[in-house]
Amino acid sequence: MKYIFYVLAFSLLFSACEIVVDLDIPKHEPVLVINSVIHADSVFTAQLSHSVGSFELNDIDKVMDATLSVFQNEVFLGDMLLEFTGMSHDYYDYETGQTIEGDSLFRYALNAMPIVGNSYTYKVSHNSYDDVQATATLPQEVNFISHEIAKVENDYSDSYKLNLTFLDQPGMQYYRLRVININIDVFDGLYIEPAYFDTADPSIMSSSVTEGGDPEEVGVFLHDALFNDALFDGEEKTISIEFYDWSSGGDETSSSFYLELSSISKDYFDYLQSYQRQSNYYGGELFAGEPVQVFTNIQNGLGILGASNTKSVKLILPE
């Protein structure tokens, strides 16, 4: 009886301490959002939308009636045109119990190819938003020298040790390293995604963070490595990684792997690094960790205009 009394007393105590606070949150003023990466082997493309407030995540719409002009070294190159790219997949909404049909997908595009070493500026105007602009310079291709690959025996999955060597250019350079897995499943079709890999390279270590936000002492487990040449400026560089083939051992799938080493603009490097850190802190949950400001180089707006020059090599996996 005395135990029940204590429980009721504590319940009344904590319920009496509940405080309701009304927050006066200022109305969000939307700005234009540009997302575009200039690739050495592709025409100019861009996605254009507008920003929303923290509690309006389902209200993001594409902006499809803006004027997006491209300038090459400050000389007008052309206006991007809106083009249809396909339909998004249907998905099931568990909250409403309804199947949501896919939407039409569009992008802005300019049928012209960028030139290495040139600077490109996007200028966007729209009646409902302030004008925005951003600039990026397309970097040189990586001077790739060689790679060696060997199979590593383990009990869980096939894994491979890869040593890749390239010659760095003098001056600060920024890089992105990925191993792309193209997986063909006879039942579900084609999947293209970055493969996870381990590395203890000091250049990658100094640029990478774990879920706790601190560099690892032994190595990092990544699918997208970002690093600069602060430790090997102008020198020949060899990086060792170990990647995994989780699809091995079945007759229903076939996999191909490609090594991708990209030289990227500094703004794109800063954006990708900040995005990785935000994902590590938040773990995909809103308000789940310490806020991380994602980098943007869009004047009067948000988003990123980056540049990337990628060297891709198909990997022949040893038996």
For each of the domains in the chain, give its residue range(s) and CATH number, in order of start: 32-137 (2.60.40), 143-263+309-315 (2.60.40)
Least confident of 11-25, 241-255, 283-297: 11-25
pLDDT above 50 (res 2):
no
pLDDT above 80 (res 11):
no
| Rounded average pLDDT over 261-274 | 95
User: pLDDT tens digit string along 212-244?
Assistant: 444 444 456 678 899 999 999 999 999 999 988
pTM (whole model) above 0.85? no
**Buried b / exposed e along 285-319 (16+ C-beta atoms within 10 A):** eeeeeeebebbbbbeebbbbbbbbbbbeeebeeee
Range 284-288 contact pairs with CB under 8 angstroms and sequence separation of 24 or more: 286/54, 286/57
pLDDT above 80 (res 10):
no
Residue with tokens 């293209």, as numbered in its chain: 192
Is there a contact between 101 and 91 (Cβ–Cβ < 8 Å)?
Answer: no
Q: Of 32-41, 154-163, 246-255, which one has max mean pLDDT?
A: 32-41
pLDDT for 191 equals 74
C-alpha closest to that of 177 among 226, 230, 236, 238: 226
Q: 285 to each of 23, 279, 281, how far by Cα in Å?
A: 22, 9, 9
Is there a contact between 139 and 307 (Cβ–Cβ < 8 Å)?
Answer: yes
| Rounded average pLDDT over 2-10 | 46
pLDDT for 81 equals 95
pLDDT for 307 equals 98
pLDDT for 133 equals 97
Look up residue 303 and give its two tokens. Answer: 């988003």
Q: 224 to each of 58, 198, 283, how far by Cα in Å?
A: 28, 11, 16
User: pLDDT tens digit string along 87-136?
Assistant: 766 666 656 666 666 666 889 999 999 999 999 999 999 999 999 999 99
Residues 9 and 168: their CA atoms lie apart, in Å, by: 70
- Arithmetic mean of pLDDT over the chain: 81
pLDDT band at 189 (very low <50, low <70, confident <90, very high): low
- The DSSP call for residue 116 is T
User: H helices within the chain, ranges in order?
Assistant: 2-16, 202-207, 266-282
* Beta strands 104-110 and 81-87, pairing class: antiparallel
pLDDT above 70 (res 318):
yes
pLDDT for 212 equals 43
pLDDT band at 21 (very low <50, low <70, confident <90, very high): low
**What's the full length of the chain, in residues?**
319
| Rounded average pLDDT over 23-30 | 68
* Sign of torsion over alpha carbons 308, 311, 312, 316: negative
C-alpha closest to that of 257 among 196, 315, 302, 217: 315
User: pLDDT tens digit string along 67-93?
Assistant: 999 999 999 999 999 998 877 666 666
pLDDT band at 187 (very low <50, low <70, confident <90, very high): low
